[in-house]
Amino acid sequence: MAGPDAQPALARFLRRHGLEDYDRLLELAARDPEWFWAAVIEFHGLRFFKPYERLLDVSKGKEWAQWCVGGTTNLSWNCLQRPLTQGHGEKTALLWEGEDGSRRAMTYNQLAEMVARAAGGLRGLGIRQGDVVGLFMPALPEAIAAFHAIVSLGAIALPMFSGFGAAAVAERLSHAGAVAVLTADRSLRRGRPIEMAEVIAAAAPQVPSLRHVVVVPRDPDAPARDANRPGWVDWRQLLRSADAIAAVELPAEATAMLVYTSGTSGKPKGTVHSHCGFLTKVALDFGLILDLRPEDRLLWMSDMGWLVGPMLAVALPLLGATLLLAEGAPDHPEPGRLWRLVQDHRISFLGVAPTLVRAWMQQSPEVIESYDLSSLRVTASTGEPWTPEAWEWFRRKVCRERVPILNYSGGTEIGGGILSGHMLRPQVKPCGFAGPIPGMGAVVVDEEGRPLPPGRVGELALAMPSIGLTRGLWREPERYLESYWSKIPGLWLQGDFASVDEDGDWFIHGRSDDTLKISGKRTGPAEIEALLLATGLLAEAAAIGVPDPVKGSAVMCVCVPARGVVPTPDVVKSLTEAVVAGLGSSFRPTRILFAEDLPKTRNMKIMRRVIRAVCVGEAVGDLSGLVNPEAVEQLRALIAAEDPAAAPAGSEAGRDRHR
């Protein structure tokens, strides 16, 4: 293995291909994407059972690009066989620390054996290639094994956020047509048991296609639960009753995973990721751009339901690193828990979200200063834009002005990143990115698709397809085109505002659509509104994101009561609890405001952009398309009448305010 002072992989890649710098690589990748992606595949030694005949085929249009045409492979086969064939089977692959202090470890040999047996067990249940299998799991070693078992078998993994309520889980499982789901019996968060199997029990009757539920015990020695429920199986029994099976050979473009994300309206969208596509994109992003190395110990407290979770599940074995999985919250049971994990486990690669950084800034300075963070080699961040204050605090207090911050931004639909920092230019301006990731074709354009000069803010767009891009939306081809390709023909619009300064540093300025991004987790207003309306207490609802000093953005709801409903504190409580039960506590509304009407267009679309502008005191823009402009003035009057020092909805003072 390479030593800790080894040259960055990106530098070795440039040298191998005779390229003088990163800008030259960007130019060549844009001009000849087939050369670039083939070079990434070759550099990382990605394997095919049958070699592809053509790397890229855009005969159906760039919207429907096909990759590695004619080739066969398997994502998990590529990942799990690599450390074994390199003689690293006894190296620690996974470390786990529970919120209660319990610890576990798993070698690469043990991980590969568990994956092979779990795949055999799933096949014994009748699960076959192309079947969708849900993954509703917290940060456990078995979550990584379960993901690879599903993919190895040729089934399609559907990871879901472990904090979802039954309604959100059922909606995703139903839309995907899932035949099985793997879950944990429980997890701990802030000392409280989270009964995950009970969430599945509540969701299962709403999913007609569901035949099997596999329950993984948080504690390996705990007695089996739910064994008498029809179709429910204990994970340990699944492993004991099965023969280990090898990964199956699949078309390179076979679907490996669905990850649901939400837009500004409608139901969640199922993004589609292929075996060759997700594998190669992770190899590029983690292996070249973020410089994850075999000697690294990686900690990134994410969730399998957000894209970073599956990316880590692939990057870990592909690059031969060691991953620490930590249950629960980063500041419980002690405020400096994350820093203690870095210190105790000698973490060298730390992933964070700016939301968490803003929360850590509120702690006493002694908390972070009492820990040894000298093991850190690199930090990466994603989830939302930084603030300059948070960036500088993190650079001084965590990175100690020696460890780079590799800012990284992309999306679920991308299969990874669009913009990033990298080790050839480790220092950039606060909140910035060193530039685009090669092969993405990133540009900043105006509303007509014209490239913008330095300093101008515009839409972040992709001028070319990339290998990691979603292959569409699950069972919704027209929605895919409408969501990403229709606004400016020939360009993929990411939904972010961006700019490039005179020095070539890139910046993200937030979402350009109505999508809410709370604590780094993205959801559409429609999901929150559906939960509110399902109470029967409202006639209409609009969920918006408003600035929050810690989380970056928080949920505010503007609602029209149903006929005969008086907005009492109990009504506010019921609405708040409905959102938390459906989507988790991260989405708890900080304010619930009641109005007589909501601004709408002439085709009766609620204008959330206008509502948000009024609520945060921004210019509302053109209102000529509204059918009821008087609703804007009524909302302004409501906001003006509010006491700015009042408590948030959900507290006693806040409830009184909303009577």
88-109 residue pLDDT tens = 999 999 999 999 999 999 999 9
644: pLDDT confidence band, cut at 50, 70 and 90? very low
Phi, psi of 290 (to 5 degrees): -90, -10
Which pLDDT belongs to residue 354?
Answer: 85
Question: Are the CB atoms for 497 and 458 separated by under 8 Å?
Answer: yes
CA distance 506 to 524: 26
Residues in CB range of 12: below 8 A, 6 or more apart: none
Q: Is residue 633 part of a domain?
A: yes
Query: Is 350 among the domain residues?
Result: no
How much is the mean pLDDT over the chain? 91
Owner of token pair 């609602």: 559
Select from 295, 290, 312, 309 the least CA-distant residue to 346: 295
In a domain, 74, yes or no: no
CA distance 336 to 348: 17
- Tens of pLDDT, residues 430-476: 999 999 999 999 999 998 999 999 999 899 999 999 999 999 999 99
pLDDT at residue 264, rounded to an integer: 39
| Among the listed residues 559, 568, 560, 556, the one whose alpha carbon sits nearest the alpha carbon of residue 659 | 568
In a domain? residue 70: no
d(CA 531, CA 536): 10
What is the predicted pLDDT for the residue at 608?
Answer: 84
Q: Can you give the pLDDT at residue 98?
A: 97
Give the pLDDT score at 387: 80
In a domain, 562, yes or no: yes
Burial class of 599 by CB neighbour count within 10 A (0 to 12, 13 to 18, 19+): buried
Q: Which two tokens stand for residue 187?
A: 């997890």
Q: pLDDT tens for residues 314-347? A: 999 999 999 999 999 999 999 999 999 999 999 9
pLDDT higher than threshold 80 for residue 601: no
Per-residue pLDDT tens digits for 443-455: 999 989 999 999 9
The predicted structure's pLDDT at residue 71: 98
**What pLDDT score was predicted for residue 646?**
35
515 has a pLDDT exceeding 60: yes
d(CA 632, CA 491): 34
Instruction: Give residue 108's pLDDT.
Output: 98
The pLDDT score that the predictor gives to residue 604 is 58
Q: Does pLDDT of 647 surpass 90?
A: no
User: Is a pLDDT exceeding 50 seen at residue 653?
Assistant: no
Whether the CA torsion 483, 488, 490, 496 is positive or negative: it is negative
- CATH number of the structural domain spanning residue 577: 3.30.300.30
Cβ atoms of residues 96 and 104 within 8 Å: yes
Give domain status of residue 647, yes or no: yes
Length of the chain in residues, anyone? 659
pLDDT tier, 659 (very low <50, low <70, confident <90, very high otherwise): very low
At 616-635, the pLDDT tens digits run 988 887 565 566 888 999 99
Other beta carbons within 10 angstroms of residue 495's beta carbon come to 21
Where would I find the beta strands (DSSP E) of 311-411? 322-326, 349-352, 378-381, 405-411
Range of the domain at 521: 516-657
CA nearest to 332, candidates 306, 301, 308, 310: 301
Which comes out higher in pLDDT, residue 299 or 522? 299
Question: Which has the higher per-residue pLDDT, 268 or 104?
Answer: 104
Q: Measure the CA dihedral 69/73/74/77, to 10°.
A: -160
Please check whether residue 100 lies inside any domain of the structure. no
Specify the number of domains making up the chain: 1
622 in any annotated domain: yes
- pTM for this one? 0.83
What pLDDT, on a 0 to 100 scale, did the predictor assign at position 577? 96
